[in-house]
Amino acid sequence: MISTVLNLQAHHVRHAIQHEARRVRKPPKWVEFAHTLYHDWGLKHACLILVLILYNFLGAAIFYYCEASHDENQEVIWKDSIQTNRSKFIQNIIPTMFNNTEYLFFLTGEQTKQV
């Protein structure tokens, strides 16, 4: 009699454990849907491309963050260099353009407004 009761209890415990194991093994519906999308509809290629695009944008953002200040400094130096070169060029070319001093005159601010 005791063995029958123990067998019955063991059967109930085994049945409860099997039921719980089936519940744990079966994934949720959204996981099944994602699995179907990924494997059956060929979204694995789209996911790879999406990861590649995100990786590229992340790399570009990191590169911009690291190099932006240096690039801005180089641009300021470059603009200063252009300004210096233009000033030197003008200083070199003005004497050759106006080598006849009798025709050389300067306009005042009032004369400029009248013209």
The 10s digit of each residue's pLDDT in 78-101 is: 988 988 888 888 777 777 766 655
- What are the residue ranges spanned by the domains of the chain? 1-41, 43-90
* C-alpha span between 3 and 49 (Å, rounded): 63
Alpha carbon 103 to chain centroid, angstroms: 61
Token code pair at residue 93: 């070319």
Residue 19: pLDDT band by 50, 70, 90 thresholds?
A: confident
Model confidence, pTM: 0.41
From residue 46, alpha-carbon distances to 36, 40, 49, 95 in Å are 14, 13, 5, 68
